[in-house]
Amino acid sequence: MSKNDVVITGFGATTPLGGDVASTWDGLLAGRSGVKTLEADWVERFGLPVKIASRLAVEPTEVLPRVQARRLDRSEQVAIIASREAWAHAGHGEDTVDPDRLAVIIGTGIGGANTLLDQDDLLETQGLRKVSPLTVPMLMPNGPAAHVGLELKARAGVHAPVSACASGAEALAWAWRMITLGEADVVVAGGAEAAIAAITMAGFAQARTMSTRNDDPERASRPWDINRDGFVLGEGAGVMVLEREDYAKARGATIHGRLAGIGTSADSYHITGPDPEGTGQAKAISAALRTAGLDPKDVGHVNAHATSTPAGDVGETVAIRKAIGEHPLLSAPKGNLGHLLGAAGAVEAIATVLSIKESVIPATLNLENQDPGVVQEVVSGEPRKVDLKAAVSDSFGFGGHNVALAFVPA
């Protein structure tokens, strides 16, 4: 089977920029920010130093039926919404795929944090009888994947990679493997996250990884800018429908691009800090090019992980130089979206495919004074029109997880 045999037939998303892929993409091209001041009462109650986050642009409860929404954690809600859009975009309907040849892989970094916190509060304040019998299915990290799998009747496999901020990208890598190994014809894959809560905000704040630019939320997330001071926590979901090429063509599907190759590795360096030499990240990128059959010079664009942290942003560019060189144009959607944790890699992979398909790279928002440690050209100010032969999307996570995805045109 050809290693370029995995094609993309559909995608869906719900993000801080919009409730679907089109509005999210339009927001990226228009240079909009999804970062806002948090209005939750716990921000002041606990004296949190970070008072900003990237909430969803469209509330899931406005999209899903009320009864269904009540039975799902927020992370499961966004996974269902993005998957439905992707499934419809791919031209699939009910019973269009043999369930034994259909798989679902939805990653998450944290899972049902809000359910865990809410149900624990009920237990402590109102007792056992008030705890929902659906608590465990709502809080378990495999919940988003499980609910999508149930809805689509997938029986080839339902998986939930949990690799921090690389989870969504790793789900796409698993999907590539399943298809190239002949384990499935169609895989619905991506990432979902909805963990904006007091404890996660407090934990990240105590680790000093988050921006405290509270007086200027829309300019807080600033990848590669010399004045960056940390990431902004976000929420959302991104999902792709990946298919075996001959299967997609046989049913007359529209092919939007190809997941040509994937690479994964681990730093084994530090639980939260990236290897400053970028060794593991470079290995993942090189592996993506190798499995795609691409030469580094073929890559014209890297959609970078670039979270807006002082250490991580520059280290990633070191890895890109090692694996690809200095020629690719870089961009970082987290300036607009904030950091969607386990959903980030999937949403940004969709943006990468759209960059290839529409020959345009969105500008990196809030890049005013580029860090001198970043020697590559970063697209900033305005979107850049450019024809792309290939592009790479990077995702990295706490624990040293590294994933790189190589995309080429349809």
Closest CA to 345 of 173, 165, 188, 205: 165
Verify that 155 and 286 share a domain, yes or no. no
Final residue before a domain boundary, out of 251, 271, 291? 251
Q: Which CATH number fits the domain that encloses residue 18?
A: 3.40.47.10
Verify that 278 and 318 share a domain, yes or no. yes
Instruction: Print the SS3 string covering 78-115.
Output: HHHHHHHHHHHHCCCCCCCCCHHHEEEEEECCCCCHHH
Confirm if 24 and 6 have CB atoms less than 8 A apart: no
Verify that 32 and 163 share a domain, yes or no. yes
| Residue 121 structural domain | 7-251
Final residue before a domain boundary, out of 196, 220, 251? 251
Q: Report the C-alpha gap between 204 and 230 in whole angstroms.
A: 10
What pLDDT, on the 0 to 100 scale, is given for residue 95? 83
Verify that 237 and 281 share a domain, yes or no. no
Mean pLDDT (the chain) is 96
Verify that 148 and 213 share a domain, yes or no. yes
Verify that 24 and 44 share a domain, yes or no. yes
79 pLDDT higher than 70? yes
Query: Is position 2 within any domain?
Result: no
Q: Report the C-alpha gap between 70 and 251 in whole angstroms.
A: 36
Encode pLDDT of 188-230 as tens digits. Answer: 999 999 999 999 999 999 999 999 999 999 999 999 999 999 9
Q: Tell the burial category of 164 from Cβ atoms under 10 Å away from its Cβ (0-12, 13-18, 19+).
A: buried
Number of folded domains in the chain? 2
What pLDDT, on the 0 to 100 scale, is given for residue 273? 86
Q: What is the mean pLDDT of residues 273-293?
A: 95
Q: Report the C-alpha gap between 191 and 171 in whole angstroms.
A: 7
Query: Is position 316 within any domain?
Result: yes
Verify that 106 and 217 share a domain, yes or no. yes
Closest CA to 184 of 28, 335, 6: 6
Verify that 139 and 167 share a domain, yes or no. yes
Verify that 237 and 266 share a domain, yes or no. no
Banded pLDDT at 94 (limits 50, 70, 90)? confident
Verify that 202 and 120 share a domain, yes or no. yes
Percent of the chain with pLDDT over 90: 96
Confirm if 118 and 131 have CB atoms less than 8 A apart: no
* Catalytic residue from among 165, 210, 363, 408: 165
Encode pLDDT of 353-380 as tens digits. Answer: 999 999 999 999 999 999 999 999 999 9
Confirm if 302 and 355 have CB atoms less than 8 A apart: no
Determine the Cα angle at 345 with ends 409 and 197, to 5°.
Answer: 155
Q: Report the C-alpha gap between 406 and 385 in whole angstroms.
A: 20
Verify that 168 and 89 share a domain, yes or no. yes
Query: Is position 137 within any domain?
Result: yes
The owner of tokens 């790279």 is 361
Encode pLDDT of 103-148 as tens digits. Answer: 999 999 999 999 999 999 999 999 999 999 999 999 999 999 999 9
Encode pLDDT of 286-305 as tens digits. Answer: 999 999 999 999 999 999 99
Query: Is position 1 within any domain?
Result: no
Query: Is position 392 within any domain?
Result: yes
Banded pLDDT at 1 (limits 50, 70, 90)? very low
Q: What is the mean pLDDT of residues 141-168?
A: 98
Q: Report the C-alpha gap between 236 and 246 in whole angstroms.
A: 32
- Compute the Cα dihedral for 22, 25, 29, 35 and give only its sign: positive
Verify that 232 and 359 share a domain, yes or no. no
The owner of tokens 């904006």 is 196
2 pLDDT higher than 70? no
Final residue before a domain boundary, out of 217, 251, 285? 251
Q: What is the mean pLDDT of residues 382-410?
A: 97
User: Residue 165 catalytic?
Assistant: yes
Q: Tell the burial category of 23 from Cβ atoms under 10 Å away from its Cβ (0-12, 13-18, 19+).
A: middle
What is the b/e burial string over 268-292, where b = at least 16 CB atoms within 10 angstroms of the residue's CB? eeeeeebbeebbbbbbbbbbbbebb
Q: Report the C-alpha gap between 195 and 304 in whole angstroms.
A: 22
Task: Spell out the residues 6+ positions from residue 93 whose beta carbon is closer than 8 angstroms to its own.
Answer: none
